[in-house]
Copies of this chain bind each other. A is one copy, B any other.
Amino acid sequence: MRVTFDPGGLADRIAGGEPLALARGISHVENESDGFEALLERLDGRAGRARRIGITGPPGAGKSTLTAALTRHYLDQSLKVGIVAVDPTSPFTGGALLGDRIRMGELSTEPGVFIRSMASRGSLGGLATATREAADLMDAAGYDRVILETLGVGQAELDIAVSADTTAVVLVPESGDGVQAMKAGLMEVADLFVINKSDRPGADRLEKEIAIIMSIRFANREPAGGGGGAEEVWRMPITQTVASESRGVDEFAAHLDRHFDWLTATGRLEARRRAARLRRAHDALVRRCHRDARRIWRDASPETLDSGASPYAIARRLYEASRRPRTGTLRGT
């Protein structure tokens, strides 16, 4: 099952903007094909131009419709857009009503748009890492905006959302979604809020609710800088949209730009990206150790696995055998 490829050649083609090469590169990263880290390393110096936008929220909030509308907005400005979708209910990843799927289909044939869905099953704890690296490749391939669409529930999913420069949390007016979302940890990751489907009753109430919760939560937060004044504090905007009719989307995009400018002006962008690089090194290290575990498990003898020992004793034996200098004892007794 080993896939071999030429990391240098593929890196050049990705950097040259070939969509097919990009698609292949992301697959190699997802599958951890031999050489995938060399590919990432080669393209490392080429990334950093794209602005990364996380769009997250509960199922049914209309995240992908908003993603599509925002993408149209950027296309109108002649910007290239990469989309990484991790939400299992997203039409980008597969779970969609027919109408949604048709709308997304139109978008996917658009030049200047690259859509990639990531399987949330099967990756050995590495979903957030692989997703971020897919965004890295799109960045290196020259996409100006990379949108990460993730479901705002679950740890791995929230990890992805916070890896963006700016994270937008999308909610809908009905059924106490506001409070539910607050509880699900969405509050902590939000740089701005969108109330989508705001033509339904309850949008204004939800907006007030969010504003109140945010003001309580951040009341005691000191401005980060010294004499920087008002611009040191980010006042979290709440935008009402009807994404299916593109209503409010220009305003949403303007807030995204404002946030990016604020990040840049306050030095936070640089700090965030420096921290992100360290985080990448950390994750790459974890992945290497994970690979050890996979290799050890794959090489384990049936005798050890069926020995009747406790699971913890089995794990310990396998692990300790793998640490000893290789003398072929692992497969022996």
Q: Which residues of A contact B (CB under 8 A)?
A: 37-38, 40-41, 44-45, 58-60, 88-89, 94-97, 120-121, 123-125, 127, 151, 153-157, 174-176, 179-180, 182-185, 277-278, 280-282, 284-290, 292-293, 296-297, 305, 310-316, 318-319
Contacts and interface: CB of A to CB of B under 8 A. Distances in A.
Contacts of A124: 286
Given A58-B59, A89-B180, A183-B88, A37 B151 contact: no
B154 A284 contact: no
Nearest to A286: B293
A89 B183 contact: yes
A320 to B, nearest CB: 9
A289 B293 contact: yes
Given A44-B312, A154-B157, 5 more contacts: A89-B183, A95-B182, A120-B154, A151-B154, A281-B318
Contacts of A184: 59, 88-89, 95, 151
Given A89-B184, A281-B305, A319-B285, A153 B290 contact: no
A286 B58 CA distance: 30
A57 to B, nearest CB: 11
Contacts of A125: 125, 286
A14 to B, nearest CB: 16
Contact of A318 (B174, B285, B314): B285
30 contacts: A37-B312, A41-B310, A44-B310, A60-B180, A88-B153, A88-B184, A94-B183, A97-B179, A121-B155, A151-B153, A151-B184, A154-B156, A155-B156, A156-B156, A278-B305, A280-B311, A280-B312, A281-B311, A281-B312, A281-B318, A285-B297, A287-B315, A288-B315, A288-B316, A288-B319, A289-B289, A289-B292, A289-B319, A290-B290, A290-B293
Nearest to A287: B315
A170 to B, nearest CB: 15
A287 B290 CA distance: 9
A289 B280 CA distance: 18
Contacts of A180: 59-60, 89, 95
Contacts of A38: 312
Contacts of A59: 58, 153, 180, 184
